[in-house]
Amino acid sequence: MAEWSNWAGNVTATPREVVTPRSRDEVVALVQRAAASGGRVKPVGAGHSFTAIAEPVDVQVRLDALSGIVVDEATNRVRIKAGTHLYDLVERLAEHGLALPNMGDIDRQTIAGAVSTSTHGTGLGWTGFGGAVVGGEMVTGTGEVLRWSDGGENADLVPA
């Protein structure tokens, strides 16, 4: 087994299994398999957090293959896949004449990690990454796919 450590090196682990899913369906299947066996699944992006939030114990899910963006040209809204690194995101956005409203000085994180850990840039007048989210999709701990969007399904989850 390969040892994992976070960006700072202050949290290390040796997960039982390392998986790199290439689709949402593969994520669903591995979560369902882990849930059935009592295992725990931990998605890991860049491991940038200084806490043990991304410490993989049973199944480490590498998000690297779940990367990229889909731009809706009509609304200028962007669907960002969970494993997209911020340094790639800004380049892909620029190709469409788009940009992030705010960004910190470190761009190694994945978008899933940046949103889930309240990553922010600087300035009182700007929101963190989570404040720019208007919808999403996630696989729950039972393998169910949960979707939410502003003005759409499960709209009450957007602020969460």
Closest by Cα among 45, 26, 58 to 108 = 45
pTM for this model (two decimals): 0.89
According to the model, what pLDDT value does residue 38 have? 94
- Tell me the per-residue pLDDT of 67-113, one tens digit each, with 9 for 90 and over: 999 999 998 899 999 999 999 999 999 999 999 888 888 899 999 98
Is 160's pLDDT higher than 80?
no
The DSSP code sequence of 37-80 is HT--EEEESS---SSGGG--SSEEEE-TTS--EEEETTTTEEEE
According to the model, what pLDDT value does residue 124 have? 77
Residues of the chain with CATH 3.30.465.10: 69-157
Neighbours of 44 (CB within 10 A): 24
Section 139-154 average pLDDT:
93
Neighbours of 28 (CB within 10 A): 17
Identify the band that residue 13 occupies on the pLDDT scale cut at 50, 70 and 90: very high
Token digits for 44? 């890991």
C-alpha–C-alpha distance, residues 44 and 53, integer Å? 9
Question: Where is pLDDT greater, at 6 or 117?
Answer: 6
According to the model, what pLDDT value does residue 91 have? 96
CATH topology of domain 69-157: 3.30.465
CATH number, domain 4-62, options 3.30.43.10, 3.40.50.1220, 3.50.50.60, 2.130.10.10: 3.30.43.10
Is 130's pLDDT higher than 70?
yes
User: Is the dihedral angle over the CA atoms 42, 118, 105, 75 positive or is it negative?
Assistant: positive
Residues of the chain with CATH 3.30.43.10: 4-62
Asked whether 108 and 85 are in contact (CB, 8 A), the reply is yes
